[in-house]
């Protein structure tokens, strides 16, 4: 279903000229003792602003005449430099609020149907590296820099506002003025929606996975029919007779295929996804009742069994019938999408599956086809782009955290050894809520490796997954020391992220508009 904003040009460039009144700063960059991030330095009127690297993290720096409007609302330590006021302040919510009044691009925006890429950031410091990769790859993907699930927020000890603010500071640091989205990821409850709405998110991913009955695919027919009668028909504003009447007389024609429903198939689709559809409708109506200017993604990817084309069509038909509007939908594709590693399965089977799902997304929307658990699934990105075209979204998360660990493995081997040892101790418990198949028997102890070899643990299938899913335990014990290392070596971390994400983004080069010969 086409979401709000989809028909207003939002599929074009994710920018609207916000940067037209600003130019590069020069005086700020010349102040001795200040390591000002060059991309952040900006002049607006008589004021120059930017972010400076310090041992304690980035600091806001403003050089402006006294009583300059650019100083309003900003706090920090003031001094005089060459006849102007020099203010050095913290990267706190108050200063961010003041800067957003000057630079609207620091706030997230609606992206509509523009093809997009989600950069999850468990530490809150990865956005500058993500921006570097976007610039280097130069692909037509609108970025979502603030993206974190409630589950990840709980495990990292951050809240929705901190996640969004950290991304905004990263946008400022990198000088990114092309617009970005903010994804309140995998929301399951009304309380989750309210928390992220209050923080200012623009993209709400509804996850009704707890309401999906994966056993419907394998139950005997009589059990399916019995389960069908127990669906929440009142919430669905429907009954089984009317449902069968609708679908059994419907044939969906696509340009190269058709889809016909049979009684058993539609019954299984309803039993599998009916409660999930009803729950999404509840979350959506609540969001809209709050007057939110936001777009919605529906995610049914975190289930054991794939979403068949007929089941995808059922979800889309029922959501549309219930008045739900969405901008993207994440089915459960064939194959395995485990954390931290490439796609497990036959890439040609994935492409055939993606072709069917993309055809349904065009037929019932158009809306974007969304690939979740997208970190490191490089072998199937090209297939997704070929089939979905410019109607796609990819979501990554933990792979940026692994690049932080790569940085630490090189620069502070002792800390990395301690984190890896804890990850091995915690793996069996922490893996419970993730799709992984790593075995500790195949994850060697770091004791057998020299310091220079530790980084090789970031390349192994089993060790990557062990490190990937234990982030909550590791950050609880070693998080502050990890962040200290990354602050001291932010350039190395950003370079690692740039290199890593160029590999993720390069397969989407085919989405660039073709130029005439």
Instruction: Supply the residues annotated as catalytic.
Output: 185, 297
Which residues are bridge partners to 86 per DSSP?
63, 79
323 DSSP assignment: T
Residues 6 or more apart from 446 whose CB is under 8 A from it?
416, 417, 420, 421, 454, 457
Residues 6 or more apart from 346 whose CB is under 8 A from it?
335
Q: What b/e readout covers 161-172, taking b as 16+ CB neighbours within 10 angstroms? A: ebbbbbbbbbbb
Whether the CA torsion 206, 191, 285, 327 is positive or negative: it is negative
Residue with tokens 């559809």: 277
Contact 315, 273 (CB under 8 A): yes
Residue with tokens 């919430």: 235
Question: Per the structure block, which two tokens stand in for 188?
Answer: 């399951």
Helices and strands counted in the chain (H then E): 17, 17
What length does the chain have?
517
Residues 6 or more apart from 85 whose CB is under 8 A from it?
62, 63, 64, 65, 66, 68, 71, 78, 79
Strand, coil or helix: what is 480?
helix
User: What are the φ/ψ torsions at residue 442 (nearest 5 degrees)?
Assistant: -100, 5
* CA atoms within 13 Å, Cβ hemisphere of 397: 25
DSSP for 61-91, please give it.
EEEE-TT-GGGTT--SEEEEETTEEEEEE--
Residue with tokens 């403003």: 62
């Amino acid at each position: 279903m086409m979401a709000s904003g989809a028909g207003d040009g939002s599929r074009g460039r994710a920018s609207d000229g916000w940067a037209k009144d600003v130019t590069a700063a020069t005086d700020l960059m010349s102040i001795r003792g200040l390591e000002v991030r060059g991309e952040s330095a900006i002049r607006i009127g008589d004021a120059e602003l930017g972010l400076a690297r310090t041992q304690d993290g980035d600091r806001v720096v403003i050089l402006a005449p006294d009583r300059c409007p650019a100083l309003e609302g900003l706090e920090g330590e003031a001094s005089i430099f060459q006849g102007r006021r020099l203010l050095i302040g913290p990267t706190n919510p108050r200063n961010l609020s003041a800067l957003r009044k000057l630079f609207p691009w620091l706030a997230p925006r609606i992206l509509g149907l523009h093809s997009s890429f989600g950069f999850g950031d468990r530490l809150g410091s990865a956005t500058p590296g993500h921006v570097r990769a976007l610039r280097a790859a130069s692909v037509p993907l609108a970025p979502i820099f603030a993206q974190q699930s409630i589950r990840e927020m709980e495990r990292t000890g951050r809240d929705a506002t901190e996640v969004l603010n950290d991304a905004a500071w990263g946008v400022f640091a990198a000088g990114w003025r092309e617009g970005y989205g903010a994804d309140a990821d995998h929301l399951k409850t009304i309380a989750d929606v309210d928390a992220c709405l209050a923080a200012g998110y623009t993209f709400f991913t509804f996850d009704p996975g707890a309401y999906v009955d994966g056993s419907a695919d394998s139950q005997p027919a009589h059990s399916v029919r019995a389960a069908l009668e127990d669906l929440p028909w009142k919430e669905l504003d429907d009954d089984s007779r009317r449902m069968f009447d609708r679908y059994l007389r419907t044939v969906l024609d696509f340009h190269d295929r058709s889809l016909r429903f049979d009684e058993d198939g539609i019954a299984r689709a309803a039993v599998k996804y009916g409660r999930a559809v009803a729950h999404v409708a509840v979350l959506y109506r609540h969001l809209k009742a709050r007057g939110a200017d936001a777009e919605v993604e529906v995610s049914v990817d975190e289930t054991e069994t794939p979403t068949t084309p007929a089941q995808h069509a059922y979800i889309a038909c029922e959501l549309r019938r219930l008045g739900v509007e969405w901008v993207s939908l994440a089915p459960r594709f064939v194959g395995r999408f485990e954390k931290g590693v490439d796609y497990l399965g036959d890439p040609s089977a994935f492409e055939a599956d993606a072709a069917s799902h993309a055809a349904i997304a065009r037929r019932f929307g158009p809306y974007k086809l969304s690939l979740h658990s997208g970190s490191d699934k490089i072998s199937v990105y090209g297939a997704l782009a070929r089939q979905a075209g410019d109607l796609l979204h990819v979501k990554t998360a933990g792979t940026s955290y692994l690049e932080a660990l790569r940085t630490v493995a090189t620069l502070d081997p002792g800390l990395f050894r301690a984190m890896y040892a804890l990850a091995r101790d915690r793996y069996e418990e922490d893996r419970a809520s993730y799709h992984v198949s790593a075995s500790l028997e195949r994850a060697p102890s770091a004791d057998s490796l020299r310091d220079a070899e530790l980084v090789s643990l970031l390349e192994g299938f089993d060790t990557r997954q062990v490190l990937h899913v234990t982030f909550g335990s590791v950050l609880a014990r070693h998080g502050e020391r990890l962040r200290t290392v990354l602050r001291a070596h932010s350039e190395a971390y950003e370079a690692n992220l740039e290199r890593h994400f160029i590999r993720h983004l390069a397969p989407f080069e085919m989405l660039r508009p073709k130029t005439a010969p």
